[in-house]
Each structure stands twice: as structure tokens, then as C-alpha cells.
Amino acid sequence: DAKTTQPTSMDCAEGRAANLPCNHSTISGNEYVYWYRQIHSQGPQYIIHGLKNNETNEMASLIITEDRKSSTLILPHATLRDTAVYYCIVRVTTGFQKLVFGTGTRLLVSP
């Protein structure tokens, strides 16, 4: 899997958009970008994934640059419950492949 680089921590005010960056400069053409988050003392939860087009679901939006070397996860209206560690992972999705987590970004949403 290609390596990813994320800031260690970020802060966001409640109600504002949280933009979490991820660098994956060595990503291959057949590798997808996945985002998971882990709320304290719980298992990680899948958020969203994409290949090269921007994606949106009920939880977040994923913006991938044209060269695919970086991406941004956007939580449009952060709430206190969005406080968590966010993991950016790149991986191929052809057959079995184990998912390797980095240390992620710790997002703190404050009132």
C-alpha cells in the first residue's frame, strides 16, 4: 500500500466545516483512497472512499486532486460527536488486501 501523511491533530469549531488533508504522493493508478474514523474506545468506522472523482455521502465529502497525490475529507458541519481520530488509507481493491492503518489525524471539535 502507498503510504499516507496526515497532520497529527486539528481543531474545528462546532458547526463549521472540518477539512482533513491527506498526502499520498506515491499512490498507484489502481489504488483507492479510503477514510475511516475512530471515536474514543470504539472500533473504526468506514466513512467514504474514492478513486479519482469527488465523492459525497451522508457522512462526508471526499475531494481528490487531479493528480491524485492528495485528498481532503470534508465534514460540512462538524458536531461534537465528530471528535475522533481520522485515518486516510490507500489500497488496491482487487481481491484480498489487508488494510493497514497509520496514526491518523486527531480532530477535536469544540463548542
Give the residues lining the site for another protein (CB under 8 A): 32, 34, 36, 38, 41-46, 49, 51, 87, 93-96, 98-104
Is residue 7 classed exposed, middle or buried when 0-12, 13-18 and 19+ CB atoms within 10 A define those classes? middle
Q: Which is nearer to another protein, 34 or 109 (CB)?
A: 34
Q: How far is the CB of 5 from another protein (least distance, A)?
A: 13
User: Which residue, chain included where needed, has cell 472540518?
Assistant: 18
User: Which residue, chain included where needed, has cell 473504526?
Assistant: 44
Q: How far is the CB of 68 from another protein (least distance, A)?
A: 15
Which of 67, 65, 32, 66 minimizes the C-alpha distance to 46? 32
Q: How far is the CB of 26 from another protein (least distance, A)?
A: 19
Q: How far apart are CA 99 and CA 102, in angstroms?
A: 10
**CA contacts within 13 A on the Cβ side of 39:** 10
Q: Which is nearer to another protein, 12 or 91 (CB)?
A: 91
Q: Which is nearer to another protein, 41 or 66 (CB)?
A: 41
Q: How far is the CB of 3 from another protein (least distance, A)?
A: 13
